[in-house]
């Protein structure tokens, strides 16, 4: 049954998202072609449009997965979805996995579109190569791979908050507020509270990265927190090292599991369709 959920989820979400991928590919092709043909005005115009389309791909994907989650579970379709012979939280599992795949793919396509657009606007390969050479010169090349898990973490963190907010908004205590309004309000409250806690933990928890930026960049783990570093370097405009707290990232990882778990519990026991 879970396999069928994956199949239906992919089928329903693929009705619109790939269409924007196609538009992005066409715009990227026009931008590159106009550059080859040296059509200056058309190259600039197509590159700006490609930049906007690249950003839109991520936004559209996010809207689609939010609307799909709500409509399939908490609108009239929910009466059918929740009568299927499986645990309600399995809907969350299938939607989370499929949505994560779409979000990650959309981020990759958006980044590719932005790079092509910047190329069309005059940021050529030599400038990118020069920037990469500078990164390598400071010994930062191997740390660039950290962006991949950071992007995945950010996507999961955002999805966990969205699904939690939509699900909580459809519990009986929020029936007096519109579903859309309650979901948006709960998302912003949840996000703000989590950001505040994350910032505090980033500063005070003694688990950090020590970054030596004198000469080549050297990064190592340390059991110090950021409080001492901030005090010592309050008036230092050119520090030779810095401390980046990891307590907030640890909190984010924990909260992803917590929010998905709570969302699943609410779906199993406390959801009341309007």
The pLDDT tens digits of the residues spanning 105-141 come to: 999 999 888 888 887 777 665 665 565 555 555 555 5
In a domain, 185, yes or no: yes
pLDDT in tens, 73-109: 877 766 666 666 667 777 888 888 999 999 999 999 9
Looking at the fold, whether 222 and 173 belong to one and the same domain comes out as no
User: Which SS3 state, helix, strand or coil, does residue 83 take?
Assistant: coil
In a domain, 216, yes or no: yes
In a domain, 162, yes or no: yes
pLDDT in tens, 191-249: 999 999 998 888 888 777 777 666 566 666 677 777 766 666 655 555 566 677 778 88
147 pLDDT higher than 60: yes
The overall pTM is greater than 0.75: yes
Residue 149 pLDDT grade (very low, low, confident, very high; cuts 50, 70, 90) = confident
Looking at the fold, whether 225 and 253 belong to one and the same domain comes out as no
Looking at the fold, whether 195 and 108 belong to one and the same domain comes out as no
Looking at the fold, whether 266 and 213 belong to one and the same domain comes out as no
Looking at the fold, whether 267 and 182 belong to one and the same domain comes out as yes
pLDDT of residue 191: 93
In a domain, 133, yes or no: no
Number of domains in the chain: 3
Looking at the fold, whether 108 and 16 belong to one and the same domain comes out as yes
Q: Which domain holds residue 220?
A: 206-245
Looking at the fold, whether 153 and 272 belong to one and the same domain comes out as yes
Cβ pair 248, 150 in contact under 8 A: no
Looking at the fold, whether 239 and 254 belong to one and the same domain comes out as no
In a domain, 138, yes or no: no
Looking at the fold, whether 211 and 199 belong to one and the same domain comes out as no
Cβ pair 160, 260 in contact under 8 A: yes
Looking at the fold, whether 266 and 160 belong to one and the same domain comes out as yes
Cβ pair 188, 165 in contact under 8 A: no
In a domain, 32, yes or no: yes
In a domain, 14, yes or no: yes
Instruction: Find all residues with CB under 8 Å of 158, minimum gap 6, and list them.
Output: 62
Looking at the fold, whether 23 and 68 belong to one and the same domain comes out as yes
Q: What share of the chain is helix, strand, coil (3-state, %, to 5)?
A: 75, 5, 20
Angle at 208 between CA 136 and CA 240, to 5 degrees: 55
Cβ neighbour number for residue 84 with a 10 Å cutoff: 13
| Closest to 26 (Cα-Cα) out of 3, 6, 50 | 50
Looking at the fold, whether 111 and 222 belong to one and the same domain comes out as no
In a domain, 258, yes or no: yes
């Amino acid at each position: 049954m879970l396999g069928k959920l994956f199949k239906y989820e992919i089928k329903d979400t693929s009705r619109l998202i790939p269409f924007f991928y196609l538009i992005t590919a066409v715009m990227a092709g026009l931008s590159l072609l106009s550059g080859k043909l040296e059509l200056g005005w058309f190259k600039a115009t197509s590159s700006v449009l490609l930049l906007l389309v690249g950003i839109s791909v991520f936004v559209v994907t996010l809207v689609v997965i939010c609307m799909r989650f709500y409509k399939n579970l908490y609108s009239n379709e929910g009466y059918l979805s929740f009568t299927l012979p499986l645990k309600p939280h399995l809907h969350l599992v299938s939607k989370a996995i499929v949505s994560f795949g779409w979000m990650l793919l959309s981020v990759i396509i958006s980044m590719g579109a932005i790079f092509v657009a910047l190329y069309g606007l005059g940021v050529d390969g030599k400038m990118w190569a020069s920037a990469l050479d500078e990164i390598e010169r400071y010994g930062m090349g191997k740390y660039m791979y950290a962006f991949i898990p950071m992007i995945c973490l950010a996507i999961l963190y955002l999805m966990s908050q969205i699904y939690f907010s939509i699900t909580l908004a459809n519990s009986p205590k929020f029936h007096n507020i519109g579903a859309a309004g309650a979901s948006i309000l709960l998302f912003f409250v949840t996000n703000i509270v989590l950001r505040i806690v994350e910032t505090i933990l980033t500063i005070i928890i003694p688990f950090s990265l020590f970054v030596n930026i004198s000469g080549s960049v050297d990064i190592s783990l340390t059991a110090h927190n950021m409080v001492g570093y901030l005090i010592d370097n309050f008036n230092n405009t050119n520090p030779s090292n810095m401390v980046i707290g990891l307590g907030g990232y640890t909190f984010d990882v924990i909260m992803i599991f917590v929010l998905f778990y709570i969302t699943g519990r609410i779906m199993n026991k406390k959801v009341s369709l309007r």
